[in-house]
Structure 1
Amino acid sequence: MLWPSQLTSGVSGEKSSSEQPTMFSDIFNSLIDNVQETDAVKTEKQYLLATGQLDNPAEWSIAAYKYQVATSLLVQVRDRALDAYSELSRMSI
């Protein structure tokens, strides 16, 4: 799972010795991967709940909420990137 502190210190959360900046594409791809992972977990929990194999129904609610938060973060980052691009394109050189 990607935490907000990882957005500034790097995707893996470990600082490299060369302190290279993290590219936006790396961050965005990790957010997409996070959404896909949380969706897979949510879908698995939903299947287990539907088939009666899930002992704790709250696990599905938690997985669904994590998916919702991951999706919301992805959309917010995308929107901010588009806003920044629009602002840059309006600048005169």
Structure 2
Amino acid sequence: MQQMFITPMVPINSIADIGSEKKVTSGQTGSSMFQDIFKEAIQNVKSTDENLTMQEYLLSTGQIDDAHTVPAAAAKAQLSAELLTALRNKALEAYNEMIRINI
């Protein structure tokens, strides 16, 4: 009988931890973590938009063999923009909620 190995689940502390192996240092403040999340989301929007532009250029000049990469790049660009918008909306909702709290 073969013995199975189960990898334990590791909790995700922030959105920035998804897909990366970098760990948050103990000296990092909450505001810089918050800022890093938005910087990463903005950079993701920029890079996916640049990739979409390049794929569209390659398609229009006939340099691309598989045309399905253009809609895939467009979907990635759209999803990254929607994620950034959702992050912004949630941050504004949280800020407005904190403003309403009576001290």
TM-score computed with the length of structure 1 as normaliser: 0.83
Residue type of the alignment partner of 1:18: S
Which residue in 2 is equivalent to 1:65? 75
**For residues 41-84 of structure 1, what are the alpha-carbon distances to aligned partners after superposition, in whole Å with 9 as ceiling and x for unaligned?**
00000011111111100011111000011001000000000000
Structure 2: unaligned runs, 5 residues or longer = 1-11
Compared CA separation, residues 67 and 5, structure 1 to 2 (3 A)? farther
Compared CA separation, residues 56 and 18, structure 1 to 2 (3 A)? same
TM-score computed with the length of structure 2 as normaliser: 0.75
Q: Quick check: 10-19 or 27-36, which moved more?
A: 10-19
SS of 2:64 mapped into structure 1: coil
Compared CA separation, residues 87 and 16, structure 1 to 2 (3 A)? closer
Structure 1: unaligned runs, 5 residues or longer = none
**For residues 14-52 of structure 1, what are the alpha-carbon distances to aligned partners after superposition, in whole Å with 9 as ceiling and x for unaligned?**
225638466111100100000000000000000111111
Aligned-CA RMSD value: 2.5
Does residue 14 in structure 1 map to residue 22 in structure 2?
Answer: yes
Alignment of 1:1-93 (within 5 A): 7=15, 9=17, 12-16=20-24, 18=26, 20=28, 23-93=33-103
Larger radius of gyration between Structure 1 and Structure 2: 2
Answer 1 or 2: which has greater helix percent.
Answer: 1
